[in-house]
Structures are given as C-alpha cells and as structure tokens.
C-alpha cells in the first residue's frame, strides 16, 4: 500500500516476508510507527485533527504527543492518564485514514494502546443530594458557580463560559430570568443559551470574579461532586415539571448543530416559557430548605448564647 510521500507504510521482517509478526506485536513493535519523523508527523496530524477535535483538545493532545520520544516511553502508555492514550489513538487514526498504515496495523495499535471500557453511569442525584452539595461549599464564589450549574443544567465547561460572560455583564433579563447567549459548537458538545435566575446573574456580576477550569475541577475532587449527575437531575426535574424533551435538550446543548434560525427562535421562546417551572422547583425544594436550615442553626446558636 502506498503511503503519503515522506512516510513509509508499516512492514515487518525483510524481503517482504513476515518474521514472527505476533512476537513483534507483543514487543510493541508497531508503536515505533508513531515515532516516524515525529516533528513532521505531528504537524501533519495537527492539520488533520483540526477538523475532528475542539481547539482545546487539539492543544492538549499535541502537548502530550510531544512528550513521548522513545519506544520505551510508548511501552508505558497504558500506565499513563486516559487523555495520553486518547492522544495516541487519535494519531493512529490519522495514520489509518490518510492511508499511511493499513487496517491490520491500525488494529494492532489500538490493541497496544488500551482504553478501558467504562460502564454507563446511571446514578442520578436527588433533591437531597443537591442540597447536600450546596451546603458543603462554604466559598461564596464556588457556591455561585454551583448554583449556575444547578439552575442552567449546562456542562461544567459551558457553565464556566456562561459565568464569565455574566461577570462581563453579557446577559439580558426577562422578568426574574436571565439569559446568556453562548452559541458554542465544539464538534460534539454544544451550548446555545444559559438560563438562570436574574437574582443569581446579578450576584455573579456584582462579584466580578471569573471562574476557571481548575477551580471547577478542584470543587469536584474535594467534594466528590459528579457534574454529569447534576445534569441528569436537572433533566429529570425539567421533564417532571412538564418541559418538552426537545426544549430540555436545547437548554442542555444536546440539539443538532445544524439548527435553523426559525427553529432556534421557536425553541428559545418555548424555553423561556417552560423554564420558570424548573426554577420554581429549585427555589422551593433546594434553596428554601437550605435557608431554613441556616436559620435554624443561627437560632440555635443564639439560644446557646442566652443560656451562657
């Protein structure tokens, strides 16, 4: 099979005769392909990957690919974080799709760069779980961010972008609802709009401090918070409160990327009409309970002070 000029297709043995291919595979021999003319290879991959990956993921993978320089490094790839293995899987896919390696070699590379199968997470938070999460965060800025995740139902990365737009006063209000236009389309993950309470938007804007990815990740690690489970809780709550499935998908960024202007405006109008029922539930079932708990704690502390 002819590969692109400058790259040689994968062959094993000499004189066109395979020499114990299985043994060579066991030794990780196919991994050497990922080191051919490394600098140029990564540049070629970069141009290809721009059509398949988000800019953030592209930069992350490119940085990872440049760290591995020897076969010995690559033989330890399965002990590395998952994103390292995904980066080299992406490089292998590029080689295959560009006809630089054949299907057999591509299959061998995927066997050598293992990805553990993950079970579908069916866990969904309850209202009590959401209350527990909020009450466990003493930091005001982090509380505001979590409230935005809870009220909007967005992915954490999209909630960060919405949070920072609000800080810059890039939002509008419709009564007691705030709307932030996002229009994010990162290949596979989208976000059109962020809806939250006008009160929350005002608090975030008054705070004037932007949110970062690191802070969001640290909150999850320290408090064992599953952002995806919050999204599932939001969707379940929205459906229970009568929200149409298409509207819930639109608000959470699961709608098709090629959405027409008229359809976008129709769904946005329905979103603003149906969203108040979700916000009302959050206020009554989550915030009101937390406020009551705080008031009871303060009253108890005052009673103890009087006894003294």
User: What is the gyration radius of the CA atoms in the chain, in angstroms?
Assistant: 25
Per-residue pLDDT of the chain (308 residues; tens, 9 = 90+): 445 555 544 444 333 334 344 444 445 577 888 887 888 889 999 999 988 888 888 999 999 999 998 888 888 888 888 889 999 999 999 988 888 888 888 888 888 898 876 555 567 799 999 999 999 999 999 999 999 999 999 999 999 999 999 999 999 999 999 999 998 876 667 889 999 999 999 999 999 999 998 899 899 888 889 999 999 999 999 999 999 999 999 999 886 655 677 788 899 999 999 999 999 999 999 998 776 544 443 333 333 334 44
Domains and CATH numbers, the chain: 21-112 (no CATH), 127-298 (1.10.443.10)
- Model's pTM, two decimal places? 0.64
Question: Residue 187: what pLDDT?
Answer: 60
DSSP 143-202: HHHHHHHHHH---HHHHHHHHHHHHTT--EEETTEEEEEEEEEETTEEEEEEEEEHHHHH
Alpha-carbon distance of 274 to 276, in angstroms, equals 6
The residue among 36, 49, 5 whose CA lies nearest residue 105 is: 36
pLDDT score for 228: 92
Strand partners, 190: 185
């Amino acid at each position: 099979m002819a590969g692109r000029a400058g790259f040689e297709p994968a062959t094993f043995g000499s004189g066109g005769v395979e020499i114990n291919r299985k043994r060579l595979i066991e030794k990780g021999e196919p991994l050497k392909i990922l080191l051919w003319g490394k600098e140029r290879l990564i540049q070629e991959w970069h141009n290809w990957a721009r059509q398949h990956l988000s800019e953030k993921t592209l930069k992350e993978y490119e940085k990872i690919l440049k760290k591995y320089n020897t076969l010995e490094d690559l033989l330890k790839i399965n002990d590395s974080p998952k994103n390292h293995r995904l980066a080299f899987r992406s490089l292998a896919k590029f080689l295959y799709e560009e006809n630089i390696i054949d299907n057999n070699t591509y299959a061998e590379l995927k066997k050598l760069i293992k990805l553990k199968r993950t079970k579908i997470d069916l866990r969904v938070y309850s209202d009590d779980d959401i209350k527990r999460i909020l009450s466990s965060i003493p930091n005001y800025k982090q509380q505001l961010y979590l409230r935005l995740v809870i009220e909007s139902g967005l992915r954490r990365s999209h909630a960060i972008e919405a949070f920072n737009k609000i800080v810059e006063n890039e939002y509008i209000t419709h009564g007691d609802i705030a709307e932030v236009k996002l229009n994010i389309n990162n290949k596979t993950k989208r976000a059109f709009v962020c809806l939250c309470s006008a009160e929350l938007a005002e608090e975030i804007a008054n705070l004037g401090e932007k949110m970062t990815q690191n802070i969001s990740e640290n909150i999850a690690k320290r408090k064992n918070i599953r952002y995806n489970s919050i999204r599932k809780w939001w969707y379940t709550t929205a459906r229970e409160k009568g929200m149409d499935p298409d509207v819930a998908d639109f608000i959470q960024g699961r709608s098709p990327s090629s959405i027409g202007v008229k359809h976008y405006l129709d769904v946005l109008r329905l979103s603003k009409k149906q969203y108040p029922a979700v916000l009302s539930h959050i206020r009554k079932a989550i915030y009101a309970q937390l406020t009551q708990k705080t008031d009871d704690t303060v009253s108890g502390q005052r009673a103890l002070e009087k006894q003294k």
